[in-house]
Amino acid sequence: MIGRFNLFFGLVLLIGVTTSWFRAYGQDRVYLDITDPSFRKLPIAVPGFRVDGGGASLSEDLLATTKKDLQISGIFQVLDSRAFFADPQKLGVTAAEIDFGQFRQGGAEYLIRGSYSTDGQNIHLELRFFDVVGRRMLLGKAYDGKVSDRKLMIHRFVDEILKLLTGEGGIFSTKIAFVNKEGKVSKIYMVDFDGSNLTLLTPKEELAMSPSWSPDGRFIAYIGYRGNRTALCLLDVASRYVQDFFLGGVLSGVRFNPQRGLVTVSRSQGGSSPEIVTVNLQGAIVDKVVSGGWDIKASPTWSPDGRKVAYVSNESGNPQIYIYDVNTGSKRRITFSGDYNTSPSWSPKGDLIAYSGIVNGHHQIFVVNPETSQPIQLTTGGGNNEAPTWSPDGRMIAFQSNRSGRYAIWVMLKNGSDARLLTEIGGEQILPSWSPKM
């Protein structure tokens, strides 16, 4: 059960959506640690939305969006609305009006009440988050905007709930880019965090691979194939303008540096072993991060502070993950279990590196503490699970998997639980990259 909270009040403008706070009561903040192994999901009731004016046609859509967001969060157990027998249209929406005992009897510890009215293409939406046991409102917001923005309003509200409970905002404004392969054609798409709003980003490409978001979410870098050459491509997500940079040789494994306007890429040329170089946004190579020797150096991923890079090398005979310290020039190996470990991805908090390793003939997702080198296996079973990428809050991991027969993008919590299918489209979806918070 949550303790007491101090809430701030104000007025915010969000992408054409006007947002205002209601008053909520409390004292001290107490944050949940959802990574604690003993954490128990919080039972929450979400009755249907009350219609205060206009048509009732949006009620089910608003309810479905709210429930899906709560389920995806990994924090809540959304209770069956049939346990709450009252007509949602007759239920109150304020603490003074609500019969909290009714919801407590149904097993709920928390409650969301929503109401809305529409006027043509405009909507006024009110959302309140209640502590059922404490019989009080913890958070309330009113939104005014276009009907088409209604899902954004729900996403923003659930984000605020997560920030209230955990001290950090959620991922409900983020997107995931990925490669969709159909035959010999590979194009880059993006979807919202919940798999909705599928958008093609590279309509003219025949073969595009390895997307990576810039820290500000403005650009996606990727590898484009131009005849018999590979180019480092920089896509402006808003305008869809693409700029090509030809660095010579064969390119792979693109990643942005999280602290500087630089792109890191693995490059091999003239039959030499691949090296890892950094490139500025004008297409000039500014540094060779890891080079020299006969071994392969690929799949770079930066620590959040931009001081270290993890990468894959076969200098020990098989692919393993190493860390290179840019300031000291020192390197060290961090994976020792298994003989094939690839695709490292550094967590936003810097405490873990996710990667793919082979177990009993199948790729599985692991996380490892870069300081202790202690791995934890997150996925099991048949099929291959590969190419992990972290959500910007560090709570979730997206990855490619063919556990259902063909490759698709899946998302799970950082402890490996609550895996859900993200993409359900034709072709095979691989190489996901999670955007920063937009």
Average pLDDT over residues 183-190: 96
Please determine, for residue 10, whether its predicted confidence score (pLDDT) is greater than 60: no
Check residue 24 and give its pLDDT: 55
Structural domains in the chain, sorted by start: 11-166 (3.40.50.10070), 175-434 (2.120.10.30)
* pLDDT digits 0-9 by tens, 35-51: 566 778 999 999 989 99
CA 279 to chain CA mean position, Å: 26
Average pLDDT over residues 416-431: 95
Give the side-chain half-sphere CA count within 13 A for 147: 13
| Percentage of the chain modeled with pLDDT above 90 | 69
Check residue 26 and give its pLDDT: 45
Residue listed under structure tokens 């998997």: 401
Check residue 375 and give its pLDDT: 95
**Weakest mean pLDDT among 73-87, 182-196, 248-262:** 73-87
C-alpha–C-alpha distance, residues 64 and 16, integer Å: 23
Check residue 22 and give its pLDDT: 60
Check residue 7 and give its pLDDT: 30
Check residue 4 and give its pLDDT: 28
Task: Give the pair of three-digit tokens for residue 55.
Answer: 């048509």
Q: Whole-number mean pLDDT of the chain?
A: 88
Check residue 90 and give its pLDDT: 79
Average pLDDT over residues 320-328: 93
Average pLDDT over residues 108-123: 94
Check residue 30 and give its pLDDT: 53
pLDDT band at 3 (very low <50, low <70, confident <90, very high): very low
Check residue 432 and give its pLDDT: 98
Average pLDDT over residues 355-376: 95
Please determine, for residue 186, whether its predicted confidence score (pLDDT) is greater than 50: yes
**Top-confidence range, 79-83, 188-192, 316-320:** 188-192
Question: Taking Cα atoms as reference points, which of 139, 145, 134 lies closest to residue 160?
Answer: 139
Task: Give the pair of three-digit tokens for residue 265.
Answer: 């890429």
Q: Are strands 17-21 and 229-236 parallel, antiparallel or unpaired?
A: unpaired
Average pLDDT over residues 139-165: 94
pLDDT band at 12 (very low <50, low <70, confident <90, very high): very low
Average pLDDT over residues 401-406: 95
Please determine, for residue 15, whether its predicted confidence score (pLDDT) is greater than 60: no
Check residue 36 and give its pLDDT: 63
C-alpha–C-alpha distance, residues 132 and 113, integer Å: 12
Average pLDDT over residues 353-363: 97
Task: Give the pair of three-digit tokens for residue 170.
Answer: 């959620």
> Higher confidence at residue 228 or residue 63?
63
Assign residue 373 a region (left: φ > 0; alpha: ψ between -120 and 50; beta: otherwise).
left
